[in-house]
Amino acid sequence: MEKREQLYEGKAKKVYATDDARYYIVSYKDDATAFNGLKKGTIEGKGAINNRMSNLLMQLLEKNGVPTHFVEELSERETVVKKVSIVPLEVIIRNVSAGSFAKRYGVDEGIVFDAPTIEFSYKNDDLGDPLLNSYHAIALKLATREEIETIKQLAFKVNDVLRAYFKTLNIRLVDFKLEFGRLDDGAIILADEISPDTCRLWDLDTGEKLDKDRFRRDMGGVEDAYNEVMHRLMGE
Ligand code: UDP
């Protein structure tokens, strides 16, 4: 696979065309942002960890029947993925109260839900990714009703698989964000990444935060947290 021109540079990744129209190459950066880009920084080694981790988890999900964009890991930071057009929705699943949920509803963080929740936001930086429901998404033509049904089912399946897997690593999967894409034939597959940038991961025994909240909240130990998750994933 040959890398061609850069198509897009996001906050944490670059996307390149390849010599095969079906595929893109993504390259993970160490850059970190939070609060819609207001806070900027670098997390040393993050790109390599997020690339590896996202690829491992996508492969686990594929084995469990969730279609993903993963094709092949090329190097520490680079991966071949299927070309999709991204559905402009951030799909958030929560098992435990935290972050914007705790703030919005005025509850403590750490309340374990009886059943997971799902919510959508409109992926639009200018508007600050506003929360919306499935009717709004359909009205705005961001996705069809059928696509939203598929996305919901896949997102809950991802939660079942990942929650069980992280438990074996003594990690609580608190919440996470997913993005889905459409293949040329219209099929919906999981895209983007699954990493400590996009998940809240708490140590099951101590409750220690092992994710990007350490960066967002200036808690220190950011690199150590990402490395800790990576080591547990690699079985070290
Ligand atoms: N999240 C993300 N990208 C975003 C917003 C949220 O990856 O643009 C993830 C975040 O890491 C967390 C989950 O989605 O695991 C829920 O985030 P929340 O809505 O609580 O927002 P936050 O508190 O991060 O603003």
- Which residue type does 84 have? V
Q: Is the pLDDT of residue 1 over 90?
A: no
Q: How does residue 197 score in pLDDT terms, banded at 50, 70 and 90?
A: very high
The residue whose CA is least distant from atom 2 of ligand 1 is: 198
Predicted local distance difference test score (pLDDT) of residue 192: 98
- Taking the centre of ligand 1 as the mean of its atom positions, its distance from the CA of residue 50, in whole angstroms, is 16
The residue whose CA is least distant from atom 23 of ligand 1 is: 99
Judge contact between 224 and 47, C-beta under 8 A: no
- The pairs formed by 42-48 with CB atoms below 8 angstroms and a separation of 24 or more are 43/215, 43/222, 43/223, 43/226, 44/223, 45/223, 45/226, 45/227, 46/12, 46/197, 46/223, 46/226, 47/12, 47/76, 47/77, 48/76, 48/77
- Taking the centre of ligand 1 as the mean of its atom positions, its distance from the CA of residue 188, in whole angstroms, is 22
Q: From CA 229, how far away is CA 166, in angstroms rounded?
A: 10
pLDDT digits (tens, 9 = 90+) for 89-148: 999 999 999 999 999 999 999 999 999 999 999 999 999 999 999 999 999 999 999 999
* Alpha carbon distances (Å) from 165 to 67, 87, 130, 192: 18, 27, 31, 20
Q: Which CATH architecture has domain 85-233?
A: 2-Layer Sandwich (3.30)
Q: Is the pLDDT of residue 196 over 90?
A: yes
pTM (whole model) above 0.85: yes
Q: Is the pLDDT of residue 236 over 90?
A: no
- Taking the centre of ligand 1 as the mean of its atom positions, its distance from the CA of residue 129, in whole angstroms, is 11
* Average pLDDT, rounded, for the chain: 98
3-82 has which fold?
Phosphorylase Kinase; domain 1 (3.30.200)
Q: From CA 28, how far away is CA 175, in angstroms rounded?
A: 22
Which residue ranges make up each domain of the chain?
A: 3-82, 85-233
